[in-house]
Amino acid sequence: MLKVGVAGVGHLGRLHARVYSELESCGLVGVYDADAGRAESVAEEFGGSAFASLDDLLSEIDALSVVVPTTAHRDVATAAMERGVHVLVEKPIASTLDEARDLVAASEQNDVVLQVGHIERFGPAMRAAARRLVDPLFVEAHRLGVFVPRGTDVAVVLDLMIHDIDLILSVVRAPVVRVDAVGIPVLSPTTDIANARIGFENGCVANLTASRVSREKVRKIRFFQRDAYISVDSLRPRAQVLKRRDLPLEFLHRIASGEVEGGLEDIVDFEDLMLDDQEPLKLELASFVTAADGEHEPVVTGADGVRSLEVALEVMRQIG
């Protein structure tokens, strides 16, 4: 059984500890946090030990969740990988592209797994929709959040938009050729609302909006392809497919011209996709454990994390 630990047990790190304690495929050895009292509290709640230092924890485990502030990702994750410990590092993979590439290099040099915590890949609506996605030509994403002071030390691009950047890059397998973006601070010193338009070499265009000054949460992404429109609502959660029926082109022209009566329901089939109720974080960490055991490649690789960060940083550069 894989022995796992968590570095950083704030709000999200505590959830990692809880999930590891519930998985049958691994054992939670312990946690480390700069706040010793917090580490002791989490260890008492979910089992394992509160380690006095990161080095002490690394000497006892096979795999580690890195849930420390982004600025410390490289140092903590590199220390783990140099000890032969597999790493899941929360998103974004690092603060800079150089740091992100250093992590990928450390993973390769030490022959260990590096997975990035882009949890939206594991949401039930997105997992159901992914099976229906074939070469989208246009993508529209809206990710809106209610303002909370925690997290406003980073721009909304790295806080929220990067989730949708990762999702889109995982579906549109073509190089990014153009990024245009605007954004402004509203309630904090950093960008609170941003819009980006991303163009791909294959002609696909993605339009993304992220905001943390909304009065309600919104987590919607829509994919348009030649014969279908696929809508994903991660909050409800819900995934719906509107697929054009195999109708003669002449019939479509007759509806468009008004020669025959007809509406959307006459030319498309509506389908609500069946979703499961599995917890995304549990799926993500279980997948990391099996990847660390050598059963498959990580769902979100270090290279994926670098690519998402590269686009996110370009969006921020465009905003200025």
The 10s digit of each residue's pLDDT in 213-226 is: 998 999 999 999 98
Is 195's pLDDT higher than 80? Answer: yes
Using only the alpha carbons of the chain, give its radius of gyration: 22
Q: Any idea which fold 122-279+309-319 has?
A: Dihydrodipicolinate Reductase; domain 2 (3.30.360)
Question: In percent, how much of the chain has pLDDT > 70?
Answer: 92
Residue 190 pLDDT level (bands cut at 50, 70, 90):
confident
The per-residue pLDDT for 106 is 98
d(CA 185, CA 188): 6
Q: How many Cα atoms within 13 Å fall on the side-chain side of residue 222? A: 10
Q: What does the pLDDT look like over 17-47, one tens digit per residue?
A: 999 999 999 999 999 999 999 999 999 999 9
What's the pLDDT band for 147 if we cut at 50, 70, 90?
Answer: confident
Model confidence pLDDT, tens digit, residues 87-130: 999 999 999 999 999 999 999 999 999 999 999 999 999 999 99
Residue ranges of domains in the chain: 2-112, 122-279+309-319
Rounded CA separation 285/65 (Å):
9
Confidence of residue 244 (pLDDT cuts 50, 70, 90): confident
- Pairing state of beta strands 86-90 and 63-66? parallel
Name which of 37, 171, 118, 153 is nearest 280 in CA terms. 118
pLDDT confidence bin for 255, thresholds 50/70/90: low
Q: Place 150 in a pLDDT band, splitting at 50, 70 and 90.
A: low
pLDDT given for residue 227 in this prediction = 85
Looking at domain 2-112, what is its CATH homologous superfamily? NAD(P)-binding Rossmann-like Domain (3.40.50.720)
How is residue 273 annotated by DSSP? Answer: P
DSSP state of 43: H
- Bridge-based pairing of strands 63-66 and 49-50 is unpaired
Residue 62 has pLDDT above 90, yes or no: yes
Distance between CA atoms of residues 109 and 105, nearest Å: 6
pLDDT at 164 over 70: yes
**Residues 65/14, Cβ–Cβ less than 8 Å:** no
Peptide bond into 92 cis (omega under 30): yes
Q: Is the pLDDT of residue 83 over 60?
A: yes
177 three-class SS: strand
